[in-house]
Amino acid sequence: MTEKTESIESNKSIESTVASNGKVGFISLGCPKALVDSERILTQLRLDGYDVVPTYNDADVVVVNTCGFIDAAKQESLDAIGEAISKNGKVIVTGCMGVEADRIRETHPGVLAVSGPHAYEEVVGAVHQVVPQTRKHDPFTDLVPPQGIKLTPRHYAYLKISEGCNHRCTFCIIPSMRGDLVSRPIGDVMDEAQRLVDAGVKELLVISQDTSAYGVDTKYRTGFWQGRPLKTKMQSLCETLGEMGVWVRLHYVYPYPHVDDIIPLMAAGKILPYLDIPFQHASPKVLKAMKRPAHDSKTLDRIHKWREICPELTIRSTFIVGFPGETEEDFQYLLDWLDKAQLDGVGAFTYSAVEGAKANEIEGAVPEDIKEERLARFMTKQAEISAARLQAKIGTTID
């Protein structure tokens, strides 16, 4: 549940470049994985000689990369499409909400094309149809940096290592939108990392739907990079990235047992002592209903062991409160667990029903006022914990 829609305005400010095949406006909504999709589409459009412009008036066509994770995100996507149609008139839709093409066309019949997530060729093909190329790509004038077009500040970049997810969490519909896990070849990932570092990137943010599952679908196949054999596995990836002389930060880490093997790399300074792990809850009953790991005591033991090995470790997580069937006892269990876990940073959300999610079938819906009351108590508790952990750092020196 770390996905969060970004404001439309923050994604309209794309630096203009020079070309002559036509001008494309681009709106990117949703999570960092979707942002990487946008970067790849924009890179191909630049390679094809299109100019990327920051305003509706200057664009020959507008591409909207949508988010469909929760209902609020879907509404924001529909609103963005509507705004683009009203201010430009020629709109191509892609991204996670693109799997609901009928709903999009029913709401906005004027859209020119609709495709789902990571459908790069379909999007570029649709742009070609609306704004035909008048000349072929010229590498001497259509300058694209080796690392491609990036929408992040120059000092950091997202490194997406896989697509899709094999889990079937009852609150989530990501697998229905992005499919099962498909890991990128480790050689390709490392090549991209090297290009980013060569371009001056100082921090690589490793992302996917399930970062710690990297390579499961390939049975950890051995690949090659610069003549070296490397397993398609999170540990091999982290070890090799840790040799590049930049910060490496892990996001969206599912708490598999082999995550324990990464902590010594953090203690040794190979990668940043930072873990983003969406625990989602602590009550075994709620976790079981979510189809998440339910061994909360073992999770606590692991967290304590991680900190013994790497005292500098920072753990960030996300949680859902008010999940169907959550009782006051379950919620109090979660608060007590927070006291024991002493996480550094936490985000929390009230449960929001998502069309197509299995959780909608679970009995015991929690009233909205109780959800909000529990969220407030949760954030108050965690604010106290985070403040105390930050206070303890005063006077320490960090390299």
* Sign of the torsion angle spanned by Cα atoms 263, 269, 270, 271: positive
pLDDT at position 152, please?
A: 86
Is residue 70 very low, low, confident or very high in pLDDT (cuts 50, 70, 90)?
confident
Q: Where are the domains of the chain?
A: 8-130, 152-254, 278-399
Q: How many residues does the chain have?
A: 399
Least confident of 40-44, 135-139, 215-219: 135-139
Higher-confidence residue of 172 and 7: namely: 172
Tell me if the domain spanning 278-399 has CATH number 3.30.750.200.
Answer: yes
Q: What pLDDT is recorded for position 5?
A: 33
Averaged confidence pLDDT in the chain: 90
Least reliable range by pLDDT among 3-17, 23-37, 266-280: 3-17
Answer yes or no: same fold for 8-130 and 278-399.
no
Q: Per CATH, is 152-254 categorized as 1.20.1290.10?
A: no
Nearest to 345 by CA among 381, 299, 383, 397: 383
* CATH C-level class of 8-130: alpha beta
pLDDT at 2: 30
pTM listed for this prediction = 0.83
Q: What is the dihedral of CA 170, 173, 178, 180, to 10 degrees?
A: 20
Predicted local distance difference test score (pLDDT) of residue 271: 98
Which of 175, 252, 181, 253 is closest to 218 using CA atoms?
A: 181
